Amino acid sequence: MSNNPVQTVSTSNDKYKVILAVVAAIAGVAAFYILAGQATWIRAIALVVGLLVAVGFVATSEMGRDFVSFAKEAVRETKKVVWPTRKEAGQITAVVFGFVLVMALFLWGTDQLIGFLLYDVILGWKK
């Protein structure tokens, strides 16, 4: 017997909530532009209300709850990260710059060698 997790298909109510959220966000932005002759704070309130209604609809859907759960898990994981000290970061940076310098010299030398072999030895063209 297998232990495959069961995934549920989102209900049509969740789809309607997402559609309503999109409509509310569009309505908030549209109200912001329609109220162009009004005071700026009235326009801002219309925009914020539309966006808050949209966030409310999304937050009550399964997709919104999954996103909030994912965001909490991401924050929990970033707290587990061990960041390097200033000295370690400087050492790592120096190693990277040193490697880039060595690779640049290697590629320049390889280019010069191939150019010499191709133009001077094989084709006989002198520069």
Instruction: Give residue-wise pLDDT tens across range 4-41.
Output: 665 555 567 888 888 899 999 999 999 999 998 889 89
* Whole-number Å distance between alpha carbons of 48 and 35: 13
Local confidence band at 120 (pLDDT 50, 70, 90 cut-offs): confident
Instruction: Tell me what the pLDDT averaged over the chain comes to.
Output: 88
Instruction: Give residue-wise pLDDT tens across range 30-77.
Output: 999 999 888 989 999 999 999 999 999 888 888 888 888 999 999 999
CB of 61 closer than 8 Å to CB of 14: yes
